[in-house]
Structure 1
Amino acid sequence: MNPTLPSLSVIVPVYKAEKYLPRCIDSLLAQTFKDFELLLIDDGSPDRSGNICDAYARKDPRVRVFHQPNRGVSSSRNLGIEQARAEWVTFVDSDDWVEADFLAQFRLEEAEPDTFILQGFTHNYEQHPEKDFRFGDYKGCVFPLSSGEDVARYDLLQNGYPFAKLYHKEKLQRHAIRFNTAISIHEDHAFVWDYLCQVTRIRLVESVSYHYEKKVGESLSNKTYPPSVWLAASDSLLDGLSILASRCHLTDSHYLKEVYTAYGLEQIMQALYHMDASNYRDVIASAQKRTPLFDQYFLPRTPRQKLVLYLLKQRWGSQPLWLFIHLSHKLFSR
């Protein structure tokens, strides 16, 4: 460790965040743990976010600002990783905020490269505080990644948020672990899983000092993506999950089904829902290749899913399949 460098790099991707950015930065600069640098990555923000970043850099030497043309949050986080000077890295989103003990809770003096350290967080609803809840309200423990019972007990594989976690910079570099800029959904989950594949132990921290802000109208279900985006996300998630299922020695079949359904197979379902006359052949062919996984792991939760899965298994041509799946969409969207 170089004593002239900070021990922790905090990376904050910034885009159109002028309303929340000062709260985020102020909360980080007020940390009881002081030995960190704050990297603000301005992703071509069209508002005043870039100016706000520069103003904080002029006031506090711990703040470093990088401006780039708009390339997306994954590119911003990757730039932060490349520019980080510390041994350890963590991420904070620009519209979130943290309590004063957030960084101290990682206990860097005890951190080891092969141990992945995770905190829980508080899920805040911007205009409905009565809905606030704690995610991953851990009691504090350490266990090997190979302990499938603990992985399932703490629902580790469904915690794919990149924030409130501590990453070893050298491990990120050695294994070329980066956010996949080729996909625009679930890329954060894939990143966390890639990192999980390179550690041997998990330490869960009894802290919910990170505050994740849920904005009004902010929901993946409110966005529309073409089938290619859903399929690319599915491929990335399923590749990582096949490795983790083995490394974690998961024997809880129901837990495996829950994870496979939510992160890999549901994305294929979404691709089927959104296909059209220009792409249905490729989408159906991709989905049919995954039929064994659907048979083994998929948990259909709606009549629509059951019908689409039934249709997918029929030995019809791709055009009749598309037409019937399209009709099912019309039927269940009424």
Structure 2
Amino acid sequence: MNNNYLVSVIVPIYNVQDYIGRCIESILRQSFQNLEILLVNDGSIDNSRQICEAYANKDKRIKIIDKENGGLSDARNVGIKAARGDYIVLVDGDDYIKDDYVWILLKETIRTGAEVTICSFDVVDDDGNLITNENLSELNSLVMGKDVLDYVLTPYGYKYVVAWNKMYSAQVFENNLFDKGKLYEDEYLNFRLFWEIKSVAIVHTSLYCYVQRQGSITQSDMSIKKIKMKEEMHKCRISFYKEHRERHLYMKSCQMYCNWLVECVRQYSQVLQPVDKRRFQLEMRKYSRIADDDKEFGMAIRIQNYVGRISLRLASFFKRIYKGDKNVREKHG
């Protein structure tokens, strides 16, 4: 199998000098060696470029692509367009992968004929200490793309949204790329990409190490721009399912939007302007009524929706009680 397939490993790089060496070394240690390693330097102004060059001088599989800073989506797209591999994996420059990451994903992809293969992953700190294991225990070993999209629309669906715990057949990117300039780029692409995919393999082994760097998302570094970008993503997803007449995913996406509206008021009330809060209230009244038609949701959600139509502030208080004030991690672009 080593001689029959080429796997392109795409690493977007922007000012990650403290992490990129560990990332590249983890790629070079892969048990599967027939790799094309594309290091996309997205206009770094630290020493990331020099570190990449040192590795490229030692291993001919490494190619450095320099570009002006355009953001994570743009860097990934440049790498995808340059890739020659039969399969593509995306590794963020501050993360790293386990030695059998490529081999296990490729073996399962070939065995099942899947268009995309997804693996479990570890969340670690800067020093590599395990914080939590995110196991994909919710789905069977081989599912359809729409099964993935269904589970994405749950509180812990982010495990299936992130771009970096996956091996993609190169063909899946022929008509779908990341939206340049968007935050939450993985979410914007996810519903469009998996809608077209017929077969997805699930690997329960943890193969990717996502580094949760210090300074996670808090109210102090949340901005109106980020909030509006997330709101836009929700509305795009809702419109997509409505246009494709997928009633179940349409209602679930409406409910996810409502959940997010409540969560915004709960976490970022001081960031939101009065005009945003008034708009959110109107949105809650509109979309919660659509979501209420889905009988799948439990009593807690129905109470949240009912209270939210009266007052998002009261709904956020209710949510704080029944959630125990636990935050859900998100991978932000």
CA distance in 2, matches of 1:149, 1:45: 34
- 3-state DSSP class of the match of 2:57? helix
Structure 1 pair 155–287 and aligned structure 2 pair: CA distance change class (3 A) = closer
Q: Which residue number corresponds to residue 331 of structure 2?
A: none
Question: Which of 278, 288, 294 lines up with 2:282 in the alignment?
Answer: 288
The residue type paired with residue 292 of structure 1 is K
**Can you list the C-alpha shifts for 1:68-105, whole angstroms capped at 9, x where unaligned?**
22221111111111111112211111111111100011
Structure 1 pair 161–145 and aligned structure 2 pair: CA distance change class (3 A) = closer
Q: How does 1:193-232 map to 2 (within 5 A)?
A: 193-219=191-217, 221-226=219-224, 228-232=225-229
Q: Which residue number corresponds to residue 124 of structure 1?
A: 124
Structure 1 pair 148–9 and aligned structure 2 pair: CA distance change class (3 A) = closer
> What is the CA-CA distance between 1:28 and the residue it aligns to?
0.4
Structure 1 pair 58–219 and aligned structure 2 pair: CA distance change class (3 A) = same
**Can you list the C-alpha shifts for 1:239-271, whole angstroms capped at 9, x where unaligned?**
3355469788848x8x76764445677569889
Q: Which residue number corresponds to residue 190 of structure 1?
A: 188
Structure 1 pair 147–126 and aligned structure 2 pair: CA distance change class (3 A) = closer
Structure 1 pair 93–220 and aligned structure 2 pair: CA distance change class (3 A) = farther
CA distance in 2, matches of 1:171, 1:207: 24
Structure 1 pair 241–127 and aligned structure 2 pair: CA distance change class (3 A) = farther
> What is the CA-CA distance between 1:155 and the residue it aligns to?
7.7
- 3-state DSSP class of the match of 1:196? helix
The residue type paired with residue 186 of structure 2 is D
CA distance in 2, matches of 1:154, 1:305: 16
- 3-state DSSP class of the match of 2:41? strand
Moved more, 16-25 or 289-298: 289-298
Q: Which residue number corresponds to residue 240 of structure 1?
A: 237
Percent identity over the alignment? 21
- 3-state DSSP class of the match of 1:212? strand
> What is the CA-CA distance between 1:130 and the residue it aligns to?
6.2
- 3-state DSSP class of the match of 1:231? helix
> What is the CA-CA distance between 1:118 and the residue it aligns to?
0.6
Q: Which residue number corresponds to residue 32 of structure 2?
A: 33
> What is the CA-CA distance between 1:49 and the residue it aligns to?
0.2
- 3-state DSSP class of the match of 1:65? strand
CA distance in 2, matches of 1:118, 1:248: 24
> What is the CA-CA distance between 1:224 and the residue it aligns to?
2.4
Structure 1 pair 154–230 and aligned structure 2 pair: CA distance change class (3 A) = closer
The residue type paired with residue 164 of structure 1 is N
- 3-state DSSP class of the match of 1:94? coil
The residue type paired with residue 200 of structure 2 is I
Q: Is the 8 A contact 2:42 2:68 kept in 1?
A: yes
Q: How does 1:153-164 map to 2 (within 5 A)?
A: 157-158=157-158, 159-164=160-165
TM-score scaled by structure 1? 0.73
| Structure 1 unpaired stretches of 5+ | 314-334
- 3-state DSSP class of the match of 1:206? strand
CA distance in 2, matches of 1:8, 1:204: 19
Structure 1 pair 265–248 and aligned structure 2 pair: CA distance change class (3 A) = farther
TM-score scaled by structure 2? 0.73
The residue type paired with residue 160 of structure 1 is V
Q: Is the 8 A contact 2:135 2:205 kept in 1?
A: no
Structure 1 pair 312–206 and aligned structure 2 pair: CA distance change class (3 A) = closer
